[in-house]
């Protein structure tokens, strides 16, 4: 046997006895139809299972083919709906992950800006301290030169006297 068989209940009206029967049918991927079993349907269920004569499917094989096609279409629709639901679920998960990533990026960006601002403040403070120390050093050097010049003047005065 080829492929996965599909079991479908089929109703038919027997031409010789006038009984309605239900058949379990398998249609294989190669197109073959195999009737597994037929069961007689009780008279209480006959009224809702009558085969309409105006639909043009009076032969059993046409009815079987029509029922199989309908069942396959229904299964395809169900499969498509399941795939669509799965796709929606995956898309919703993706959107949630994307939103979480954007929030994380925004948080990291804000944190980086804060660190950058702290670094700038620290750099500014260090530059101010450096400039202040350079200025003080310059003042001390100037004082030292003045003291040296005064020392020279005093030394010269001492030598002259």
Average pLDDT value for residue range 60-84: 80
Please measure the distance between the N-terminal and C-terminal CA atoms of the chain and give it in whole angstroms.
135
Check whether 79 has a pLDDT greater than 60: yes
pLDDT number for residue 73: 82
Mean pLDDT of 97-101: 95
For 12-17, the CB contacts below 8 A with 24+ separation are 12/51, 12/60, 12/63, 13/50, 13/51
Question: How far apart, in whole angstroms, are the C-alpha atoms of residue 153 and residue 159?
Answer: 10
Asked if residue 115 has pLDDT above 80, the reply is: yes
pTM: 0.38
Asked if 39 contacts 22 with a C-beta cutoff of 8 angstroms, the reply is yes
Note the pLDDT of residue 76: 84
């Amino acid at each position: 046997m080829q492929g996965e068989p599909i079991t479908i209940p089929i109703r038919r009206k027997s031409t010789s006895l006038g009984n309605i029967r239900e058949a379990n049918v398998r249609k294989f991927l190669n197109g073959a139809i195999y009737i597994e079993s037929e069961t007689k349907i009780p008279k209480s269920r006959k009224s809702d299972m009558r085969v309409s004569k105006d639909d043009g499917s009076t032969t059993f094989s046409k009815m079987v083919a029509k029922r199989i096609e309908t069942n396959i279409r229904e299964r395809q629709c169900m499969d498509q709906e399941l795939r669509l639901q799965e796709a929606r679920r995956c898309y919703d998960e993706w959107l949630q992950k994307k939103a979480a990533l954007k929030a994380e990026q925004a948080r990291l960006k804000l944190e980086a800006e804060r660190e950058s601002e702290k670094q700038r403040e620290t750099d500014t403070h260090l530059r101010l301290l450096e400039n202040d120390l350079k200025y003080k050093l310059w003042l001390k050097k100037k004082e030292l030169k003045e003291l040296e010049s005064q020392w020279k003047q005093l030394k010269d005065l001492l030598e002259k006297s």
